[in-house]
Amino acid sequence: MNSPRSFKRPATDAELRLARELFGKRVHVDVSLAQFTTYRVGGNAALHIRVESIDDLVAISAVLAQVDLPVLVIGRGSNMLIADTGFQGLAITFGSFLEYIDLPDRSANADDKLDVEPIALFGGSVLLPVAARQSVHRGLTGFEWGVGVPGTIGGAVRMNAGGHGSDIASSLVSARIFHLLRGVEAHVDAVDLGLRFRGSAIADHHVVLSATLNLSWSTATEKAENQVSEIVKWRRENQPGGQNAGSVFVNPVPGEVSAGALIDQIGMRGFRIGTAHISEKHANFIQAEEGGLASDVVRVMAEIRRRVKESTGYDLRSEIRLAGFDPTMDPSLVEVLTSESDTSVATVRLEHIFDRNANTSVSTDTSIPISVLTSTSFRDALDVPTEVLDELRTVFNDGTSDTQEQPVVASVTDIRTREVTMPVEPPATESTAAPDRVVIVDEDFRQPSESDFPSDTASESVHQAPTSLRVLITDDDVAQDLNAEIIVGTQWRDTPRSRKLLGLLTGKFVGGNKRKRLVMTGLGVVVAIGVALIILASPIVAVKTVRVEGAKYADSALVRSVSDSLKGKSVLTVDTKTAQERLESDPWIKSARITTSLPSRVLIQINERIPVAWFLGVDNRARVIDEDGLVLSVVEGRPTQYMWIEGTGPNLTAGASSAAAYRAAGQLAMSLPSELAPMVKHLGVAGTEEITMTLKTGTVVNFGAPVDMRNKLVNVVVLLRRQDVNSIISIDVSTGTPVVQS
């Protein structure tokens, strides 16, 4: 039997070390993946990067070209289970840059006709319930089913998600996909994605950046809204909340035989192994307990599969992606996953499209709105009711917490991409003979490929990352021909004297025997080493000028000391790594980069942390912290230019990390929207597990424990938009549901 996709060879320690070196500060080590999934169980990722831009994906691609790492792309994590031992590879999560929505607007039509194309564009990180509601709100129909599916657009395209008689394949026109192993992105038509019932040809190395859907205009908006309400009602009545990943098994006969009915038929509701059990509410849901084991969930899955096979003959296929599980430790785990192999006709076809894109014309994808191309996120004005927010929290099980580690990927400066436009010649029809392969080595386009696999669809655009290696092969048998120069007729006397001498020397060298050539080669090496030593010792390449950029709060004495230590050293051999480490010992300095340039210059670029808040210690001195809760400095007096966190905290020294509550308060201060920030008087921390916010009107907002702060803040903002803040005494969002006292 072929190995399922989810069972990838774990990376070796050597591969992980090399990857860490190549990624540098972009990567974080041993990051918990439970926080990124709705099951909320499982171990850590050996490496983790939070992607904030396309440039970050290009940087990842460049490293994957050098290190063979298993990759795990995580969207919302609503269809994934991580092994208790973690994932020995690179896990990728995403920031907000793929959360854009571009919907058509027929209200702009003066005649109120329905001639505006109902084409919608959604970024890969947009939540399906949000996409569904916004579509209905804009008068579109055909995507109502999405309100009942916890996941993102990207995940929905990969697994062809659906429900209530429809799926994303029914309206998908195309998807924008980034290929992590090739460093290219392409616009792929839906027909080339290999979409099938709860699956596609999209693999772990593909990232869905966006999806274009062809919906329909609704002639009765109220009917569409009622359908959304019915789906939500049905979900609440028939599907459990808590820690799960939705339906576990694919229906063996779509529309006729459901996996849940088969499991119910053999009486397995409530069946338990350890910390996992089959839901009493829906037999195709497996619940995990808080602090439970992923291995228990998988063993319940395996037992369901075995019993259903024995009793009914149906071989259930898992909808859930298992990541990090080792089948060699427990071979029965292999049977839990689908037996489809990594390679299918659809997979090969999709890969072929990227092959063709690497050598075809490049143009801007007109399906992406101008606001996205210019990095200005376009979002429809959202006036989300509180009950909708409650609903989304129920769907996603409070899986996101801003207080948990959120690694940030640094911007990429050493990897460049360029767009290349090449004319596409019409195919020749006179000859049927297969052409010989011709590879043209070009520094600007270094990834030649060939394929005779047929494809009906070519990419419209591609961004090429220079990830392939150039190889030069030298053959001694043809060396003479390569070094020969032919002089015809009387041209010899017109050749410069130096050129004649060079020609004679070259001829003697080429015509000599191997011993002479070896002697000459050795002599050349000795001369080169001697010249190098002379240059290194020369004062010409000694560092004379050190320029510092970005230093505002950093310790000026430290910066000056590091600068002085570099002066006089050879610009070719100066130890910039030690100097960089010295600079980064300053809590104010998040990262430092030192570059040298001939003949005698050094540039120090400093990236400082941003102070956002402060609190008093027991010693009555102020601790200034950044959004990560790191104490940047300890000062006398009150630094009122930053947000005050009321309460008495510990006597931390500069460089120390504060408790989770202070870290969450710092992130809250950093995240306050412009409409709310002027209203805030100060924040507060009571004990270690309660965060408050006091407004200038005297209104006290209780956030409770430092978890799910983003949704709590959204609740507060929406509530203050609807009510007069002057009439509110307090707002309690500690439980997730706002409670207002007027």
Residue from 312, 257, 310 nearest 284 by CA: 257
Burial of 170 (0-12, 13-18, 19+ CB in 10 A): middle
Residue from 125, 124, 151, 147 nearest 134 by CA: 147
Please name the residues in contact with 352: beta carbons below 8 A apart, sequence gap of 6 or more.
451, 453, 455
Instruction: Look up residue 391 and give its two tokens.
Output: 């609903």
319 given a catalytic annotation: yes
Task: Please state, as a whole number, how many other Cβ atoms lie within 10 Å of the Cβ of residue 633.
Answer: 20
Please provide the distance, in angstroms rounded to a whole number, between the alpha carbons at the two ends of the chain.
66
For residues 72 and 29, the answer to whether their CB atoms sit within 8 Å is no
Instruction: Look up residue 156 and give its two tokens.
Output: 């929905």
For residues 153 and 122, the answer to whether their CB atoms sit within 8 Å is yes
Task: From the candidates 319, 391, 460, 627, give the one annotated as an active-site residue.
Answer: 319
Q: How far is CA 207 from CA 462, 674, 720, in A?
A: 14, 33, 38
Q: How many CA atoms lie within 13 A of 287 on its CB side?
A: 18
Three-state SS at 668: helix
For residues 358 and 449, the answer to whether their CB atoms sit within 8 Å is yes
Task: From the candidates 61, 171, 218, 247, give the one annotated as an active-site residue.
Answer: 247
Burial of 508 (0-12, 13-18, 19+ CB in 10 A): exposed
Q: Is the dihedral of CA 688, 692, 693, 698 positive or negative?
A: negative
Residue in this structure with the two tokens 């396309």, named with its chain if needed:
54
247 given a catalytic annotation: yes
Task: Please state, as a whole number, how many other Cβ atoms lie within 10 Å of the Cβ of residue 66.
Answer: 13
Q: How far apart are CA 191 and CA 206, in angstroms?
A: 16
Residue 228 φ then ψ, to 5° = -60, -45
Q: How many CA atoms lie within 13 A of 363 on its CB side?
A: 9
Residue in this structure with the two tokens 């041209």, named with its chain if needed:
491
Q: How far apart are CA 623 and CA 68, in angstroms?
A: 44
Residue from 394, 357, 343, 320 nearest 176 by CA: 357
Residue from 115, 39, 105 nearest 74 by CA: 39
Task: From the candidates 50, 76, 158, 198, give the one annotated as an active-site residue.
Answer: 198
Strand segments (E) across 543-660: 545-549, 589-597, 601-608, 611-617, 622-626, 631-635, 643-649
Q: How far is CA 180 from CA 169, 448, 464, in A?
A: 24, 17, 11
Cα-Cα-Cα-Cα dihedral of 57, 60, 65, 66, to 10°?
170
Residue from 629, 623, 594 nearest 609 by CA: 629
Q: How far apart are CA 550 and CA 528, in angstroms?
A: 39
Q: How far is CA 685 from CA 158, 311, 637, 653, 704, in A?
A: 43, 57, 20, 19, 9
Q: Which residues are catalytic, by number?
A: 198, 247, 319
